[in-house]
A = this chain, B = another copy of it.
């Protein structure tokens, strides 16, 4: 993979990013560097990176699924479906559960960015 490849540019974009990004947002950011890049190429690259396990793709309750680097800091989330408030769990806090499932099923778990939904304490009070 040469350093100017799309995948590499995507990688850099995700690396310098705290939050999760939609495919569209990633495309926009890649276009800043590679102005002639085609959307389909970005979408296909993302798909590839997800399949290879470098990147996670998740529905976080927003208008579109979001992508994030997996390698950087493995974690999981609990999202309030009413106000969008987001808790982050370190991988270890969920690992027990996933290991249990792995042991009982024989499947090797690949889920690397679990997203649960709920209603946060504040929103529970609201009614």
Contacts and interface: CB of A to CB of B under 8 A. Distances in A.
A70 interface: no
A102 B109 CA distance: 23
Nearest to A76: B101
Contact of A121 (B107, B109, B120): B107
Contact of A110 (B108, B117, B121): B117
A118 B108 CA distance: 5
A23 interface: no
Contact of A116 (B59, B78, B98): B98
Contact of A78 (B81, B107, B114): B107
A106 interface: yes
- Tell me the interface secondary structure of chain A in the complex: mixed
Contact of A119 (B80, B110, B117): B110
A78 B59 contact: no
Interface in A54-101: 59, 65, 78, 80-81, 87, 97-98, 101
A111 interface: yes
A17 interface: no
Interface in A24-54: none
Contacts of A87: 105, 107
